[in-house]
Amino acid sequence: MKHDIPIDARTLGADLRALRKARGMTLIALAEKLGKSVGWLSQVERDKSSPTVADLRAMAAVLDVSVSSLFRTSAAPGEEGLIVRADARRPIGSRVAGSTEQLLSPDLTDDFEMIHSVFEPHAYLPEPATRPTQEVGYIVSGNFDLWIDGTLFHLTAGDSFRIRGHTYRWANPHDAPCVVIWVIAPPVY
């Protein structure tokens, strides 16, 4: 049985709307930060108007995401909104040196997002972070050090973790890369 994905769940506008809402921003607030009209932004979110590359850069900066995360890769017919092929993952952009992140979810319109992260040897998050999210992670390969509210956990392949708005930081103090799959709700990238 074929299930159709609503067309608005496969668009740039839908992703922008999801990112805006995840940050608790109104259409008016985002339009003001962009120096654009609410009408224009509403049209972009409904895919009635296409933003320029400069507009995308400004949106990415305000929403704190990489510009590359706003560009879509094409899916095979019938796979849109359902399947993400390994060679068609959207790069999210590296927020921290030594880490590479790719979106595993087809888009950002679900209640959560899945991220494929690779942490290079000796990479680390220099400052503790706190997000208003619920996150779970699974160590696919390598070793990973994770501090949650100041407590250090040494994780290895097959281990998993949960962060619920806690303060955390991470490090890969080892000589091999570490691969982690993250599930984050609500989407933040």
How far is residue 34's CA from residue 24's CA, in Å, rounded to a whole number?
16
pLDDT at 119: 96
CATH number of 111-185: 2.60.120.10
- For the cut 60, the answer to whether the pLDDT of residue 75 exceeds it is yes
Q: Where are the domains of the chain?
A: 7-70, 111-185
- In the chain, the percentage of residues whose pLDDT exceeds 70 is 89
**Per-residue pLDDT tens over the stretch 169-178:** 999 999 999 9
- What pLDDT shows up at residue 7? 37
The architecture of the domain spanning 7-70 is Orthogonal Bundle (1.10)
Whole-model pTM above 0.85? no
Q: Give me the chain's average pLDDT, please.
A: 86
**What per-residue confidence (pLDDT) applies to 108?**
82
